[in-house]
Amino acid sequence: MATLTKVKRRLTRRPWPAAAAEPIAPPGLGLPRGPGGRTSSPARAPASRDNQTRQIRDAVSNVEKHFGELCQIFAAYVRKTARLRDKADLLVNEIYAYAATETPNLRVGLKNFADEFAKLQDYRQAEVERLEAKVVEPLKSYGTIVKLKRDDLKATLTAKNREAKQLSQLEKTRQRNPSDRHIISQAESELQRASMDATRTSRQLEETIDNFEKQKIKDIKDIFSEFVTIEMLFHGKALEIYTAAYQSIQNIDENEDLEVFRSSLHPPDYQSRLDIVCANSKSPLQRNSSLKFSSGMVQKISNSRIRKEEDEEEEDDDDDDDEEEELEAAKEER
């Protein structure tokens, strides 16, 4: 009857893992035994290890999810920046092509603007390369890191499952052969080894996940600091270059280009305006010498015209004398 009562008591025990029982030590290991043949091992209870493993699994899954999303979004950000650089290069080429068809001042201003804008795209290319190396790649590396942590977690779970299996076998052995101490001792020995292995892997996982968490925080700080630094450097240079580009556009003399355009519609008028501008731009000494030269030229032209007229009058007089002589000679012959 006593044996039957013990068997009934064993059948009413709670199944694993709801029981918070500690591993049972085989005889001879020197572990203190409590009521019911259970040991008071200092190892962490399985339920506590379950909770720890669950938290670690959640932490790894959280990093895997959000770091993956961050990596994809940052990679898309870099691709968009690279496409913006390509479109800006097309814009630079079009500005060069248009500037070649315009008036002098506008052509120079547009070319200077295009030079500055092309220089900005060189800095944008450097921004793309730095973001790829300092932001995207570190985030991408966490795919491998998370995989390794999952392998460690899997090893811990395997050890815990082995411990649970050995505990279940021990309970079945006690139920089937309650009086066979040899078989029970072997089962208890297997359970003890499984428990020690589970405890060891749990501690290793705890140390590994602690280092993982520390490295994760450091990497997050480094990644976002690098991102902000790269963007600040680019936008600082962009402000400087855009200032120079703005000044290039503002330096365009629209009035002079307008005169050039009008001259293309009325070339003679434009030539006369150029003569007036050239005359007004001369110094007083140049103006006096120009006036003297002009008056001298006018005097020479006048003198030459007077001499020409006198020569023509003399020729006319000679012709008249010859005619008179011919008439007199004709009369004498008659």
- Write the pLDDT tens digit of every residue in 165-207: 767 766 776 777 777 677 777 767 777 777 777 777 777 777 8
Which tokens in the block code for residue 222?
């480094």
Greater pLDDT, 218 or 286: 218
Residue given tokens 């961050």 in the structure block: 70
User: Pick from 31, 55, 54, 35: which is nearest to 43 by CA?
Assistant: 31
Strand spans (E) along the chain? none
Q: How far is CA 107 from CA 66, 111, 242, in A?
A: 51, 6, 18
Question: What pLDDT score was predicted for residue 246?
Answer: 96
**pLDDT the model gives residue 41:** 43
**In residues, how long is the chain?**
334
**Tokens linked to 266:** 């009325």
Q: How many CA atoms lie within 13 A of 189 on its CB side?
A: 9
Q: What are phi and psi of 186, to 5 degrees?
A: -65, -45
Using a 10 angstrom Cβ sphere, with 0-12 exposed, 13-18 middle and 19 or more buried, the burial of residue 263 is: middle
Examine the pLDDT at 125 and tell me if it is beyond 80: yes
Task: Indicate whether 3 pLDDT > 80.
Answer: no
More confident residue, 271 or 169: 169
What is the rounded CA–CA span in Å between residue 244 and residue 105?
16
Q: Which helix H or strand E contains 162, and what residues bound it?
A: helix 137-176
At residue 28, φ and ψ (nearest 5 deg) are 95, -5
Of residues 287 and 2, more confidence is placed in: 287
Using CA atoms, how far apart are residues 316 and 326, in angstroms rounded to an integer? 16
